[in-house]
Structure 1
Amino acid sequence: MTYDEARSLLETYTKSESLLRHAICVETAMRCYAKKFGEDEEKWAIVGLLHDFDYEKYPDEHPYRGAEILKEKGLDEDMIEAILGHANYTGVERKTLMAKTLFAVDELSGFLYAYALVRPTKNLKDIKLKSVKKKLKDKAFAKGVNREDIELGAKELGVDLGEHILFVAECLQNNAKAIGLEE
């Protein structure tokens, strides 16, 4: 599957602006980590883009229904496994670096996007880690974001949580226009 085919599939199943934006945020972070790790950027970007593509249409069957659709479309098994593994309740073990990275960036991307929106500048430039961590402790802020998954993701990926936060924030800021955080 090409990137353009993945983008078309996402847009066929997902109409919500916030879900589309989330897909682009996760795609962005996946692409950055792929580059950092010397992995296939397009492959990782596609996984990020499609990880929640079925959620709006099949919320009670997510990500199982999406995995079935992607299998029918011939997506690589390791990509499907990574998508299944991003949801803890599936019980699919995150064995590959790609799967661990998807899990590590999913919740964090959503949190950082919400964090950017409450900043006076509406962006992620020059953020202070201390400020982000303070917001992470505020359970009322971005309450849909699972903080335990953010911590577990960094641990499974084998990266320092602070470095992970700053790296993903920089990735998102570098793609600010595409994710709606224009300067």
Structure 2
Amino acid sequence: MERSEAFELLGKYVEGDVVLKHSLSVESSMRQMARFYGEDIEKFGLAGLLHDIDYEKFPETHPHSGTPILREAGVPEDIVSAILGHATESPRDTLMAKALFAVDELSSFVTACALMRPSRSYDDLEVSSVNKKLKSKGFARGVDRELIDIGASELGLDKDLLIMEVIKGLRTREKELTLLGYSTL
């Protein structure tokens, strides 16, 4: 499946700006994780882009309701499996699944950190700033910090390194997305 096809499919199920921006940010982070690990950038990106395809319409059964949608659209099974793995009760037995779980919450958190900066940009965001905000329980309360720790642990990465990779991915992709008329911010 090409990215353009995946984006069109996502548009059939995601109407809200919040889920779209989140999907774009997780796609960006997943593309960076693929670069970091030497994996297929497009495949990892598709997993990130499509991971919340069913969230708006079927929040109670997410991500399981997305499985038939993805399979019917011809999404490769390893991507479908990784998407199922980003839910805490589903097994994460591939690098793609572990990476998706690790960057899902963190991508949202890093974006929130960038939006709080005077520049409203990822360009000047540092790992230390993200860590400082992680310690503030009142900041981005909806982000489960424990899941970020679990994700880094499952990948065997130091949390600071994971944060840096997410920032790098968001920086890189934000420029490309802006040219396409979209943004993660």
Q: Do these two structures clear the TM 0.5 threshold for a shared fold by scoring above it?
A: yes
Aligned residue runs from structure 1 range 96-135, under 5 A: 96-135=94-133
Q: Equivalents in 1 of 2:3, 2:113: separation in Å?
A: 28
Amino acid at match of 1:158: G
Q: Does 1:39 align with 2:60?
A: no
> How far has the Cα of 1:176 moved from its partner?
2.3
Amino acid at match of 2:94: T
| Conservation of the 8 A alpha-carbon contact between 1:27 and 1:49 | yes
Find runs of 4+ consecutive structure 1 residues off by over 3 angstroms: none
Instruction: Give percent identity, aligned residues only.
Output: 50
Q: Does 1:80 align with 2:80?
A: yes
Which residue in 2 is equivalent to 1:58?
58
Amino acid at match of 1:20: L
Aligned residue runs from structure 1 range 1-183, under 5 A: 1-88=1-88, 91-177=89-175, 178=177, 179-181=183-185
Amino acid at match of 1:127: L
Q: Equivalents in 2 of 1:133, 1:35: separation in Å?
A: 23
Amino acid at match of 1:5: E
Q: Equivalents in 2 of 1:87, 1:51: separation in Å?
A: 10
Cα-Cα RMSD: 1.3
- Normalization by structure 2: what TM-score? 0.92
Q: Equivalents in 1 of 2:30, 2:184: separation in Å?
A: 18
| Conservation of the 8 A alpha-carbon contact between 1:81 and 1:92 | no
Instruction: Give 5+ residue unaligned stretches, structure 2.
Output: 178-182
Greater length-normalized contact order (CA 8 Å, ≥ 6 residues apart): 2
Distance 1:172 1:64, change over 3 A: same
Q: Equivalents in 1 of 2:124, 2:4: separation in Å?
A: 33
Aligned length: 179
Instruction: Give 5+ residue unaligned stretches, structure 1.
Output: none
- Normalization by structure 1: what TM-score? 0.93
| Conservation of the 8 A alpha-carbon contact between 2:23 and 2:50 | yes
Q: Out of 103-112 and 130-139, give the one that drifted further.
A: 130-139
Q: Equivalents in 2 of 1:65, 1:5: separation in Å?
A: 19
